Chain A
Amino acid sequence: MGCGQANINFTHSATKYGIVGPSMGRHVWGHFALYDRCHRPSSPRGAEDLAREVVIYSSSASAPHFQSHSHSHFRALTLVRSVPAIKAMAARRLACSLLSRSRAACSPSLSRSVFGGDRIHGSASGVPRGLTTATAIEEPIQPPVQVNHTQLLINGQFVDSASGRTFPTLDPRTGEPIAHVAEGDVEDVNRAVIAARKAFDGGPWPKMTGYQRSCILYRFADLIEKHNDEIAALETWDNGKPYEQAAKAEVPTLARLMRYYAGWADKIHGLIVPADSPHHVQVLHEPIGVAGQIIPWNFPLLMFAWKVGPALACGNTIVLKTAEQTPLSALLVSKLFHEAGLPDGVLNVISGFGPTAGAALASHMDVDKLAFTGSTDTGKIVLELAARSNLKPVTLELGGKSPIIVMDDADIDQAVEVAHFALFFNQGQCCCAGSRTFVHERVYDEFVEKSKARALKRVVGDPFRKGVEQGPQIDEEQFSKILHYIKSGVDSGATLVTGGDRIGSKGYYIQPTIFSDVEDKMKIAKEEIFGPVQSILKFKDVNEVIQRANTTRYGLAAGVFTHNLNAANTFMRALRAGTVWINCYDVFDAAIPFGGYKMSGNGREKGIDSLKNYLQVKAVVTPLKNPAWL
């Protein structure tokens, strides 16, 4: 009766986002499906933008192969940066390696050196005029939201960092600071862990019934819905993802995930197991304790939900470190969580960098469990730190180089559209991006042509503008890395079908880029690019493509397009990946487990499997004296 006594007033309404039509049942990530549909060329909305983009890209396509701005653009970009922005960039680059603790190792010149010398062939003269002044470099739209929370959230209070230091979080559309955020470090992590420890060891949270916890999670979901647009705007501003994607898909999905986990809180069952001898054996599933969670910048709120939802449903307390690129939305929603009745200390949020705050959390002796989503290289470090400290169990959701296999009997138009979405969605910044598209030789040319046409129609621009499908990349580092990979693709002999360059001279916009004739040994076919670069490879038969698809250190996801039931079943079993999507991709329902084989990580998020990450198993054995039966 927790709900009644706590006087929690549930007011669910079928809001414009919360409930979509019957399509949700069929297409599991209904919101994303919705989003996808509204950006098809047939959509009347954004037709004007589409037309403009088509013009831009068709002129780009008329200039064969690679075009680029001279690298002076980049130099100029670097030079106009404010000093704090430069410092922040340096810090971000640092964060790419947790073990590299020396700030001196990084300097602004790094970004120039990436593009130095003859890095990109092609000439500025080949660039159509229209492209450099593309829609992407319009005056940025003023985001309809204010930044109200920039401090650390410890024990239910917003507080400055122990050092008093802050760092700027940047607008990916411009590279300019949005806000200065408290920079958490070892001491702040210690304080947060103490708060979480206290909340776990003595606080009300783990002692509540599952049903009482579920009521708070449900109420949080209601508050997310109420503040949908505000949260979405903040997410877009900090991350650069299209506002419509944030507002219509991601924030509603955050609410959906919270409701899903709310429903689990009172349904966590252990087994009573049979004994060989007269013993009564109970298996209890208990919360593991203080969970440290480190989340990435590509889907800040969804990663928040994947981590926080199951941990709290199971009764744990949390210290969450957000990505330094995107600290803002987690602070806002965590405040709402406290409004929903979350006790102090249960969820602590530390903004900061990997080598400092992240490393402190991973190596903390009083953190009972660690969950990390990010790159495989950083995942290794996190696992090492856990091993070197208190052997805390670690779940990792890491990188991928996920194959998509298009058979010759597939619906090619559908496969083109879905493979396009699978790669370009979220600016290509998805761990499960379909970044190796294997197409059967009989349909290869058609597929490449149609993929090119689709990429040319992709609407790139200010993510706050209606109808935009693709915003800027997250930051300078990623932006440079992607352009570097594009150069590598060209250098290694792949055919640049379309794109290949940045858009505009401000912000981190990159053209939707496609390579054909990609070979397995090329760097672009082996390494995670994390950007809008699609690689299309050719194959002849099923066994060959299975073998090639599995020849990777990753195993996060795979896509298969075929109408052949037996082929589908063969692929389903043979592909070494945590998710196999057949005739679809990126279907992310709350109940579908997600995670990696091989070096894509371990553990599963979402679904019932995710609960295991946050539960200890206790077997209780006691003799039975003369029971009637066993």
Chain B
Amino acid sequence: MASEANSSAGDGLKLPEIKFTKLFIDGCFVDAVSGKTFESRDPRNGEVIANIAAGDKEDVDLAVKAAREAFDHGKWPRMSGSERGRIMMKYADLIEQHAEELAALECLDAGKLFSVNKTKDVPVAWNVVRYYAGAADKIHGETLKLSGEFQGYTLREPIGVVGHIIPWNFPIIMFFFKVAPALAAGCTMLVKPAEQTPLTALYCAHLAKQAGLPDGVLNVVTGFGATAGAAIASHMDVDKVSFTGSTEVGRLVMEAAARSNLKSVSLELGGKSPVIICDDADIDMAGEICVAGSRVYVQEGIYDEFVRKIAESCKSWIVGDPFCPHVHQGPQVDRKQFEKVLRYIDHGKREGATILTGGKACGETGFYIEPTIFTDVKENMLIAQDEIFGPVMSLMKFKTIEEAIERANDTRYGLAAGIVTKDINRANRLSRSIRAGIIWINCYLEFENDCPFGGYKMSGFGRDNGMHALEKYLQVKSVVIPIYGSPWR
């Protein structure tokens, strides 16, 4: 594999100016109450790029107060859906107008490929906002068929103040997966971005104000999970918390909710998503799809050929500076993740799995890791059970579809699965039998505005995307009235 990990940052590409480093509360950028800041680092070299206000409990209190006021007395939940939709359309336009800058910020902060940010992540962000702008006036209650002499109907009302806690892997996408449906529903909110990647969230808060979102509707508190995140999850005046992150932290969020005001929780957590490649698969397609799967099950008939091909294609996989357009893979987000991934690789070796390719860090500086593939992996190995969150794939062989189903489901997770086959019966059977929130057949990682995404089992509950995501931010109210003399029921 080629490595460009040490090449200089983007050829002639101007690094973005970092304009927003403070908390965004009630329409203003403010320092943390404590005056503390934390360092945000460039994952390419570990250098400090900005000092960010470190929000803590007091800051969360202020943000909740602003959101509460905006919900209880402000315009936002009292506007018609179409008016909210207009403001959201303007918000989407502004994101589109600032796409280049947002893509660069995301690259700098998260080490994500600049070209992908610009052509995929940031457009996904504005597309999601437009999707929910169009959904804001399509939140329907139902009239009901009651058994007695009653007229009944349901109202779907905004749930109130929402706390969003989002991760660092897709910062701007996650921001809008959470914020856009909550805005459409008429909620007010505070967002805690990951401490690794606060920059685009702050920038988007600034754009929200420009779009005409009333003050207090969207607040951003940068900071750490143990302090700011915990304060949100346990706040008595937050009506709902939506969290995306690891299963371990998801458990803490839910506990905090249970111990405080029983706020409603939705969790989008980890996964150990299987990709099942059947004998009849298009092997080139399988090669592309399996890139994203952490447990790849290959049927025995094509196993050897598949292994040979995947090892081959890994050689042309370029790891390097994410600002370079021809690079396939940038650095891991930070030292902690970098070290964790390397520990898993060591563990895999010790457990007896075979390294097919990769297996170590790449370059001298930064958090780059070689694309790593293990073969001879068994289900009971740690690398087959835990979420590694790094460029490490486990290849496994299977004989029958029954066996593949059983092994694919033998996990505490259930986020996603991939199926590669040309056979309609296999495709239908596998898609029904695998316990996961999304099944991609002959494709992978296709995220769509209209397509719900979320987990079975310990991958969480609740769905992002699609009209389903609105459910998380709505309360259902049933209204029942006696009705006299109706000629029909």
Contact = CB atoms under 8 A, between A and B. Distances in A.
Interface of A: 1, 3-4, 9-14, 18-19, 22, 24-25, 30, 210-211, 214-215, 218, 256, 259-260, 262-267, 269, 280, 542, 565-566, 569-570, 572-574, 590-591, 608, 622-630
A3 B130 contact: yes
B96 A4 contact: yes
Tell me what chain B mostly uses at the interface: helix, strand, loop, or mixed: helix
Interface string B106-137: 00000000000001100110110011011111
Nearest to A214: B134
B467 A267 contact: yes
Contacts of B131: 211, 266-267
Given A3-B96, A259-B82, A260-B137, A569 B433 contact: no
Which of A4, A218, A566 is packed against the most chain B CB atoms within 10 Å? Answer: A4
Contacts of A570: 483-486
A569 B483 contact: yes
A9 B89 CA distance: 12
A385 B134 CA distance: 37
Interface residues of B, number: 50
Given A263-B133, A267-B135, A628 B433 contact: yes
Contacts of A24: 80, 82-83
A624 B85 contact: no
B86 interface: yes
A624 B90 CA distance: 46
Interface of B: 75, 78-80, 82-83, 85-87, 89-90, 92-93, 96, 99, 119-120, 123-124, 126-127, 130-131, 133-138, 140, 151, 212, 405, 424-425, 428-429, 432-433, 449-450, 467, 481-488
Nearest to B134: A263
A569 B151 contact: yes
A569 B80 CA distance: 25
11 contacts: A10-B93, A11-B93, A14-B86, A14-B90, A19-B83, A214-B134, A260-B82, A569-B483, A570-B485, A629-B433, A630-B432
A146 to B, nearest CB: 30
Nearest to B79: A25
A591 to B, nearest CB: 6
B487 A574 contact: yes
A622 B426 CA distance: 12
A187 to B, nearest CB: 40
Contacts of B140: 591, 608
A104 B429 CA distance: 70
B481 A626 contact: no
B83 A25 contact: yes
Contact of B85 (A3, A210, A263, A266): A263
A627 B85 contact: no
Given A269-B450, A570-B483, A625-B425, 15 more contacts: A14-B86, A14-B212, A22-B79, A25-B78, A211-B127, A211-B449, A259-B82, A263-B85, A267-B134, A570-B485, A574-B485, A590-B137, A626-B429, A627-B429, A629-B432
B450 A266 contact: yes
A218 B89 contact: yes
Given A19-B86, A24-B83, A625-B428, A566 B482 contact: yes
Nearest to A569: B483
Contact of A22 (B75, B405, B487): B75
Contacts of B93: 9-12
Contacts of B450: 210, 266-267, 269
Contacts of B487: 573-574
Nearest to B83: A19
Nearest to A280: B428
Contact of A569 (B449, B481, B488): B481
A551 B484 CA distance: 21
A627 B433 contact: yes
A629 B431 CA distance: 11
B156 to A, nearest CB: 13
A263 B79 contact: no
Contact of A627 (B79, B151, B432, B467): B432
Nearest to A623: B425
A620 to B, nearest CB: 11
A503 B404 CA distance: 84
B75 A12 contact: no
Contacts of A572: 151
A264 B134 contact: yes
A569 B480 CA distance: 12
B486 A256 contact: no
A482 B124 CA distance: 57
Which of A11, A259, A629, A630 is packed against the most chain B CB atoms within 10 Å? Answer: A259
A24 B425 CA distance: 52
A267 to B, nearest CB: 6
Contacts of A591: 137-138, 140
Contact of A590 (B82, B83, B449): B82
Contacts of B92: 10
A292 B352 CA distance: 69
Contacts of B123: 1, 3-4
Contacts of A573: 151, 483, 485-488
